[in-house]
Amino acid sequence: MFALTADQELFEKTTARYLESKYAPDHVRDLAGRPSAFNPEAWQQGAALGWTSLLVSEAAGGGSISGNGLLDLLTVAYHFGRHAAPGPLFPSNLVAMALARWGSDDQQGEPLARLIDGSATAAWCAPQRIDDPRVRGGDVSAHVSGPEIVLSGALSPVEGAGDASLLLVSATEPQGRSYVLVPVSAPGVHLVPLAGLDLTRRYHEVTLRDVRLPVSARVGQAGAGDTYDEIMFDVLATLRAAEVVGALQRCFDITLQWTRDRYSFGRPLASYQEIKHRMADMRTALEAGAAITLRAARAFGDSNPDASVWCSAAVAYVGRVALEAIQDCIQMHGGIGLTAEHDLHLFLRRAVVDTQLGGSPADMTQRVVHLLETAQGAQR
């Protein structure tokens, strides 16, 4: 769906084949019962396929296929969605990108190298960006005390923290918000697992109690967190949209096959115009969702001034339309679609967490207007 060049196609095929062999629906169900769904070996193999280096420049040890790493990474996110696959695809890539863009030489040394080769993973303890009482994100404050930076507070929900060795923590200093790279093993770091919808993607509340690190643990400039977040959230939004498109694609494929195989009143469901038209709507939503996601990745890669609008619009559109479409897939299945035994819910679960965490479609819609106003103000 997202591959445009022969190289991207090859990359997509290898990723698709690997995930197919690794994460069959029954296996995903098995993983649901385990404390962690993370498979370090499988993740390292994925890293060897190129999953972890795309948002990192060549100078920092990474490299893309097309010159636009986000565009390349869409194909991976799409297939993660198609398989509801476990693994810290978003957080590890985002933290690697942050270290590569803003990190010190030391941070770009071993920590980044280990994220790229997959021997370590990272979690992003993102700030609560929106004034929404439903988001119990909390806050981490930091102050410098001699050679040390001291962090206290809590952030939640944090994806993949339970399997990570590094946390990229948003922390508010007197001069503004900063990012700090915190080893999970640092004294004072506490993780509390959360319950949630996705079977293989786990979330934690991360609490820091007087965590003391050298000041050099800061990533980038003190107080530059808001600037960095524009990029972090744009990338996250685009990846979320791509994964949701993948989840919808899987449900669409399952449902199209079902309409052919299932007969009622002596004819296949696929022969009813009502069903045909709903499948046509869904196919169009799928194409439209992929199109805006692709356009967002391109705008980001080209550093377009309106890239943030495109990235926000991707979630604003895909987030809404895909959830409704997946529910419609369940509707077309009838009762069987409501059972745990059927596969559809695996992808609905993934689509729900993707659309609600990191800025809901409603939030992203508001952001589109905010960005338009800012652009209009700048023109005047």
Partner 1 sequence: MTDDTIDIEEFAAQARTWLAEHMPPAPRVTGSFVLTSTNPPDDVQLARFEKCRELQRRLFDGGYAGITVPRRYGGQGLTPAHQAAFNRELVGYDYPAEIQASTFIPCMAVLLEFGTEEQKQRHIPAMLRGEEIWVQLLSEPGGGSDTAGAVTSAVRDGDEWVINGSKMWTTAARYGDWAMCLARTNWDVEKHRGLTVFSFPLTTPGVDIHPIELVNGSTEFCQEFLTDVVVSERDRVGEIDAGWDVVTRWLYHERTISGGSPYVTGRGNRAHDGPYDAFEMIATARDLGTLTDPRARALIGESHTLSLVMKALAESVSKKMAMGTLPAHAAAMARLFSGTMNIRRAAIGLELAGPQAAAWQVDDDIFAQLGSGYLIRQVSCIGGGTTEMARNVISERLLGMPREHRNDRGPFRDVPRGPEAGSTTR
In the complex, which residues of this chain contact partner 1 (CB under 8 A)?
4, 256, 259-260, 268, 270-271, 273, 275-277, 279-281, 283-284, 287-292, 294-295, 309-310, 313, 316-317, 362, 364-369, 372-373, 376
Q: How far is the CB of 233 from partner 1 (least distance, A)?
A: 16
- DSSP for 194-246 reads PP-S-SS--EEEEEEEEEEEEGGGEESSTT-HHHHHHHHHHHHHHHHHHHHHH
Shortest spacing between CB 16 and partner 1, in angstroms: 16
Alpha carbon distance 294, 152 (integer Å): 39
Nearer to partner 1, 52 or 360 (CB): 360
The secondary structure element, H or E, covering residue 363 is: helix 361-379
Q: How far is CA 255 from the centre of its chain?
A: 25
Judged by CB, which is closer to partner 1: 95, or 239? Answer: 239
Shortest reach from residue 93's CB to partner 1, in Å: 23
What 3-state DSSP class applies to 59?
Answer: coil
Q: Which is nearer to partner 1, 21 or 273 (CB)?
A: 273
DSSP string, 145-188: ETTEEEEEEEEEEEETGGG-SEEEEEEEETTEEEEEEEETTSTT
CA 63 to chain centre: 20
Nearer to partner 1, 158 or 294 (CB): 294
Nearest approach, Cβ of 321 to partner 1 (angstroms)?
9
Q: What is the DSSP letter of 256?
A: H
Q: Smallest gap, in angstroms, from Cβ of residue 262 to partner 1?
A: 13
- What is the chain's percent helix, strand, coil content, to nearest 5? 55, 15, 30
Name the residue nearer to partner 1 (CB basis): 60 or 311.
311
| Least Cβ distance, residue 370 to partner 1 (angstroms) | 8
Of 113 and 254, the one with the shorter C-beta distance to partner 1 is: 254
Instruction: Show the tokens assigned to 331.
Output: 């509707």
